[in-house]
Amino acid sequence: MARDSEDPNADVQYHLEVRPEDVADTVLLPGNPERLEKIVAFWDDHEIRAHHREYRTATGTYEGTPISVTSTGIGSPSAAIAVEELARVGVDTFVRVGSCGAIQPEMAVGDLVITTGAVRQEGTSDEYVREDYPAAADHEVVSALVAAAERLGYDYHTGVTMSADSFYAGQGRPGFEGFEAAGADDLLEELKEANVKNIEMEASAVLTLANLYGLRAGAVCTVYANRETGEFRTEGESRAAEAASLATQLLAKMDAVKREAGVDRWHAGLSLE
């Protein structure tokens, strides 16, 4: 790995083992390395560029648009490493692609949740910035994900996500031999009353780091379970992957229109047509 006094982009990254030429400007971030194959199935072509620990990276094109995917493993610590090292090799847009548990009764298994912001109930982002700093999704990424879901005809919801550090205690589930963390009984009800839509484990760290570094990030997850209704099925996993891939193409079009118009940010007065 490059020494601190050298350009960190000059050499292979320590954990991901990628170089600048290995990745596109936009990278999808699933947790599970096995989900990578389900994502690239929607692309025109792809090539595996690196695989080290939980980090598996492929790059290709989606309807002619360059695109990459890097798996992050479970949780915010490893997701933050992925964002750090991908940013070092020139990536400017991140889209978390995953699964989640919904906590609002109207949300069905298989629906998509597009995150607009996140509750930072994970410790990784706390090591970067004060706890009241918001984990906000980039509005361009949110817009592209919404447009993609609309074009694909997938049911979706937008709103606030809660990101936890643990799958069991931190999400109000019983631990070994029925252990319950303090406040577990009230957690889901408090989040539900605050209109939080879903729970997962990476989005808030990804969004926080992207904002700190002036990069774009968003998140789209497929609902696997509804904690309010008790419904659970591993269904619709590919919907988030397809929506994120299409959103990447839409973001590229948005960027081209911005360049032509001479503006820095996408807004409603611009058209993709």
Angle among Cα 26, 32, 38 to the nearest 5 degrees reads 70
Residue 14's closest CA among 59, 67, 50? Answer: 50
Strand ranges for 122-232 from DSSP E: 135-136, 156-164, 196-200, 216-226, 231-232
DSSP states of 3-45 as a string? -TTS-TTSS--TTT---GGG--SEEEE-SSTTHHHHHHTTSSE
Name residue, tokens 């509005």: 139
Strands 216-226 and 93-102: parallel
First to last CA, the chain: 44
**Tokens read off for 30:** 């699933």
- Residue 74 vs residues 8, 70, 233: alpha-carbon distances, Å: 25, 13, 19
Residues with catalytic roles: 15, 85, 173, 227
Sequence letter at residue 104: Q
